[in-house]
Amino acid sequence: MEKVRIEAELPAELAAQAQAFVADGCANGLDDLLAEALRRFLESHSSELTEAFMKEDLQWGLRGEGCSASRAGQ
């Protein structure tokens, strides 16, 4: 699997807890721990995100902000 490098700022206490988790052998490394946490977050919120995007798209469409709508007045 291709990997992408990201940079993030975390609260010091959260970072310390994550590092302690890794030091205790509960994760293979900080990268693996953060990837798993992000994966679980996205899985648990996927339906909420999908619904939010659908609502946003619907509102966008109702406002008539599409390409054809902008050309209709021409």
pLDDT of residue 6: 92
pLDDT of residue 73: 46
Quote the domain boundaries for residue 53. Answer: 12-72
- Cα 28–15–25 angle (5° rounding)? 25
Q: What is the C-alpha separation between 2 and 16, in angstroms, rounded?
A: 28
Task: Please compute Rg for the chain using Cα positions.
Answer: 20
44 found inside a domain: yes
Local mean pLDDT, 10-residue blocks, the chain (74 residues) = 92 96 94 93 80 80 60 44
25 found inside a domain: yes
Query: Whole-prediction pTM value?
Result: 0.59
2 found inside a domain: no
pLDDT of residue 65: 56
58 found inside a domain: yes
Residue 53 DSSP SS3: helix
What domain count does the chain have? 1
Cβ-defined contacts of 1-9 (< 8 Å, 24+): 8/34
Q: Is residue 18 a contact partner of residue 33, using CB atoms and an 8 Å limit?
A: yes
pLDDT of residue 66: 52
